[in-house]
Amino acid sequence: MIITVDTGGTKTLIASFFKDGVIGKQIKFPTPKAPKDYVAAVRETLENEFSDRKIDAVVIAIPGIIRNGVAVWCNNLGWRNFDVGTAFKGVLGDAPVYVENDANLAGLAETRALKTQPASSLYVTVSTGIGSGVITNSHIDPGLRYSEAGRALVEFDGVVREWESFASGQAIVKTYGKYARDITSKRTWYQIADRISRGFLVLIPIIQPDIIIIGGSIGTYFDQYSEQLIGLLKERLPAHIPTPKIVQAAHPEEAVIYGCYYYALDSLANHKA
């Protein structure tokens, strides 16, 4: 059995997977803001729910830059240099604990869910913040695994600012006073498409992915703005740079835990090799 932990800016989802990829028990709770409280809550849940099972691996997804198991920077949680790997070492016996960026993992899962594997895919999660994962040949791109698309500097309303600051789910609520689920105005959705397009206009010429996959809470409402988004990109991208195919994530809210599962399989296979 593989245990996955999706640490979000607002909620944490813990799920178990059987070796055949069938998802088992799921537990969800608000993400504690202090690292010590987060560790206590997750360890307690893992020990209470899974200590009596044979666990092959634990994969912990963190919304920030991860180097050697350390959360170097997690903007939306305010975490700095938090050694996640050490904090959870031995939590479920001798099961190895792997730590990786959540958007990288979501991108891994969503890319492998495609019928045809592209040479390059760009996964972007638009949720509390904006995260990204670049997948090359069906694996997390080692050269871009630390990239943070949400931090891309973009001009918007005459000011150069981070893409996340005006296009994330949190920014949308702050701007329009509504959650995406409550927005019905076509004009508002066009404005949201415009906000989202600004970051892609920076990323597409650099990465030139075969496909872009949009996930996260705003990805759930893809059909509300996809046509406008694609139209804006086709209109504004240089003529010699094609607009990639853009699709909705197959599992907008669960991509991270599926990515944890695939990452565990790959890591265990590499360890055996």
pLDDT (0 to 100) of residue 76: 81
3-class SS shares of the chain: helix, strand, coil, % to 5? 40, 30, 30
Closest CA to 122 of 254, 246, 261, 267: 246
For Cα atoms 159, 246, 184, give the angle at the middle one, nearest 5 degrees. Answer: 70
176-194 per-position pLDDT tens digit = 999 999 999 999 999 999 9
pLDDT (0 to 100) of residue 158: 94
Cβ count within 10 A of residue 133: 32
Cβ count within 10 A of residue 32: 16
Which one of 3.40.50.150, 3.40.50.720, 3.40.190.10, 3.30.420.40 gives the CATH number of domain 2-102+253-272?
Answer: 3.30.420.40
pLDDT (0 to 100) of residue 133: 96
Per-range mean pLDDT, top range of 75-79, 205-209, 217-221: 205-209
235-249 per-position pLDDT tens digit = 999 999 999 999 999
11-53 per-position pLDDT tens digit = 999 999 998 899 999 999 999 999 999 999 999 999 999 999 9
What is the greatest pairwise CA distance in the chain? 59
For the chain, residues classed under CATH 3.30.420.40 are 2-102+253-272, 114-248
| Separation of alpha carbons 83 and 63, rounded Å | 14
Domain boundaries 114-248, corresponding CATH code: 3.30.420.40
* Matching residue, tokens 């993992």: 105
- Band the pLDDT of 273: cuts 50, 70, 90: low
Where does the chain have alpha helices with state H? 35-50, 84-87, 102-112, 164-167, 169-176, 186-207, 216-219, 222-236, 255-272
